[in-house]
Structure 1
Amino acid sequence: MERRRLLQIAAASAGIGIFGVSGEPVRQLLELSLDHGFRSGEEWEISAADHLHALRTRPPAQVAADLIIDLLTVRRQMEVSSPAEVTELQRTLAVLSSIHANALTRLGDHGAAVRWWRTGRSAADASGDREVRLLVRSEEAGHGLYGQRAPETVMRLVDNAEQVAGGSSVDLLTTRAKALSLLGRHAEARETLDAVVELTEKGDRGDSLGFWKEDQIYFTQSWVHAGAGDEARAGTARENVLRLTGDYQYRTNIALHEALCTVVQGAIDEGVRRAATVMDPLPVAYRSNHIIETGRMLLRAIPLDQQDRPAVGEFREVLSTEVRPTG
């Protein structure tokens, strides 16, 4: 029996490259022999917080591999749980699926990410937890901005999430502002930023699960003002992001926002060279799709008749080296 269970776990694990020094199949077998490896609701909340921390500090390929292990554990626990316990585990499944879709988006594996968003939405709806239903939809819309979906589709996702919420939220409004910026609707994007500030002043602080943080307001301001070429406001927003976050992805992207603002103002060579100095020292494992897409946003801001400039070509080469899905 144990040999058969080990082979089953090994087969599932081999596909995600974790059979090696981590000894994951053996660990799972040992865990099964001790207490089935099941976790309480609080333990699952801590696990989700750990994965969120990993997203902000580690290469996305590592995060995705670790998440698969916990997703398999949730499935196994659901198979032998009571109906009430399954409902709570569906909530856990929705949260972990959302984090996994985030990691896959960072890897540029958009098809898989979209399927995991769908799984996350289904699990959230089955749980009946309104906050988690909104969370998954908000996350799906926000990460769709990074080359996964057209800005118009993202706006539609925001509209749908607002129907679930019965109104808007700071998370949804920041996504709407970014989408409007990508569409060149800068005045509307700035108006949406005002609405974000108004909601926060009324006490809206995002979700209670740790996904949304205050730095996202300033990150959105950096994005919107840089896209409009407003260096003064974009600079203030960047300072606030640096003050609040240690997330390598945010810190890299706001530096790229600065370069984008320079390009929008007309200093193309200076802007792309500044962007290249941001990207060059970044290890390939950390060059997530979110960072690459921010660089591409800068390239799209360059007029067509200036796309052949040598400095632009050099930056395009820098962007060609990016993290790839591992399986």
Structure 2
Amino acid sequence: MSDQQLPKWAVRIWAERERRGWTKHEMARQLMRGAGLSYGNVVNLARQIYDWEKGKHFPRDWARAYATAFDTTVEKLFGVPDPTQRAVDLAGTVEDSATSDDWYDMERRRLLELLVLSLGTGALASSGEPIRQLLDLTLASEDRSTEDWELACVDHMHALQRQPPVQVRDGLLIDLLAIQRQLKNADAKNIPGLSRVAAAQSFILANTLTRLGDHSAAIHWWRTAKAASDASGDLHVRLMVRSEEAGCGLYGQRDVSTVLALVDKARELRRDKSSFWYADLAGTRAKALTLLGRHDEAKRELATFVDYDGEDWRARIIPTRWSFGQRHFAESWVYAGAGDETKADEARGRLLAHKPNYQHATNTRLHEAVCTVVNGGIDQGARQATAILDALPTTHHSAMITETGKILLRMVPLDQQHRLAVQDLRAALAATAPHATSLH
């Protein structure tokens, strides 16, 4: 096929790639990020890109990822309606007879392709458990009840708090395939309940990806979680997802001002200052204000969070998503950042008495080091943090822990960054940062 005979969309995706100076391998990485894929076989996908740019095949399953990578829409990029509305044939023409089933089948193939690409890099657990679950999904025909799905969400949350995030992610991908299949055939009366489940699973996956340091993919899954929560029609699910998104944003995922904007936008859904979700969001706002050095404002927001004693909605969605220890964690964060050693120590003691999960326990102990640095003990605080990080098992490596250490580093004055203890801390952070999300 000559250049003159190439479909316009093929010329367009080639031109957009060339304009950015991306090789086909870099284009493959960008597509994976756009699809929310943490792992993938870059070489194989680059070969497909070659065929797409030659107009041999239309990238039906990757159309939206292309649009995301080029910061545009499917319609503008390919000159055809979004495949979520109609199917597109290999020549790039639209089949008017396509039905909604085409879209669901395409989405199923896309999710399966993501899993297969993950297999190509050995990303899934060596035990073969995700493969067993995938086979079970392929063979099973019976739908799960909403109650069973809600129990699965609780199980995933339990795993998130105790298992390596890579394992949690792989199990979630299997269940997301299953819930997508069930939503395809669901009666109208069951869609809200299943959408609640899809929202919960998506937000747990976004949290997992945040721990893995794959912030681009996490942000895509936050969008999916919000869309699913909106489809559920459940205000509390909508607020839960948005509250979790803002909280995860504090760990290097977003600029602090963006986190504050997310909190404000979420509060617009329910302006009642006496509500549980207003208080929950106040906790996130207090942490964000601490990072900006606005300590008086942070303490006012903290009081709104820790003093709330009204109706409790958290147990009605995912009972284990929230614990009273989170109040003490927020106190530890805010008081340590303000250099209030007495109150920070008290909060840390109360939290550790609750026997929190490894991430909260580690970060709370890092708060102590932060407080030491804020009060001028740069070497002592840096050594404290380095010892905590060096003692971490590999399975406990998390970007949320890494980012807490980076918060400490940012509090060290520029003219003191050369100190040996600070350099040792920087090396410890690099050694314990999660490396599970490489696309290479």
TM over 0.5: yes
Alpha-carbon distance, 1:195 to partner: 1.5
- Secondary structure class of the residue paired with 2:268: helix
Cα gap change, 1:273 to 1:77, in 2 (>3 Å): same
1-side partners of 2:260 and 2:392: how far apart?
A: 31
In structure 2, the residue matched to 1:93 is 198
Superposed CA deviations along residues 10-69 of structure 1, whole A, max 9, x for unmatched, are 755333344854254455444554x51521111111110111111111111111111101
Superposed CA deviations along residues 252-286 of structure 1, whole A, max 9, x for unmatched, are 00000001101111011000001111000112332
Cα gap change, 1:27 to 1:159, in 2 (>3 Å): closer
Q: Which amino acid aligns with 2:405?
A: G
Among 28, 39, 43, the residue aligned to 2:144: 39
Alpha-carbon distance, 1:106 to partner: 0.5
In structure 1, the residue matched to 2:288 is 179
2:213 paired with 1:111:
no
Q: Which amino acid aligns with 1:282?
A: L
Cα gap change, 1:307 to 1:203, in 2 (>3 Å): same
Cα gap change, 1:111 to 1:156, in 2 (>3 Å): same
Alpha-carbon distance, 1:204 to partner: 4.5
Q: Which amino acid aligns with 2:425?
A: F
Q: Which amino acid aligns with 1:123?
A: A
Total equivalences in the alignment: 318
Structure with a larger share of its residues in helix: 1
In structure 2, the residue matched to 1:324 is 435
2:128 paired with 1:22:
yes
Are the equivalent residues in 2 in contact too, given 1:125–1:133 (CA < 8 A)? Answer: yes
2-side partners of 1:26 and 1:315: how far apart?
A: 41
Are the equivalent residues in 2 in contact too, given 1:288–1:323 (CA < 8 A)? Answer: yes
2-side partners of 1:212 and 1:271: how far apart?
A: 30
Cα gap change, 1:24 to 1:58, in 2 (>3 Å): closer
2:352 paired with 1:279:
no
Are the equivalent residues in 2 in contact too, given 1:285–1:323 (CA < 8 A)? Answer: no
Are the equivalent residues in 1 in contact too, given 2:124–2:167 (CA < 8 A)? Answer: no
1-side partners of 2:258 and 2:206: how far apart?
A: 17
- Secondary structure class of the residue paired with 1:320: helix
In structure 2, the residue matched to 1:162 is 267
2-side partners of 1:183 and 1:291: how far apart?
A: 19
2-side partners of 1:24 and 1:290: how far apart?
A: 25
1-side partners of 2:383 and 2:259: how far apart?
A: 31
2-side partners of 1:74 and 1:162: how far apart?
A: 29
Are the equivalent residues in 2 in contact too, given 1:206–1:213 (CA < 8 A)? Answer: no
Structure 2, unaligned stretches of length 5 or more? Answer: 1-108
Task: Write out aligned runs for 1:275-314 (5 A).
Answer: 275-314=385-424
Superposed CA deviations along residues 285-316 of structure 1, whole A, max 9, x for unmatched, are 32201000000000011111111101100110
Which structure has the higher relative contact order (CA within 8 Å, separation 6+)? Answer: 1
In structure 1, the residue matched to 2:168 is 63
2:377 paired with 1:267:
yes
Q: Which amino acid aligns with 2:411?
A: A
1-side partners of 2:126 and 2:383: how far apart?
A: 41
Q: Which amino acid aligns with 1:215?
A: G
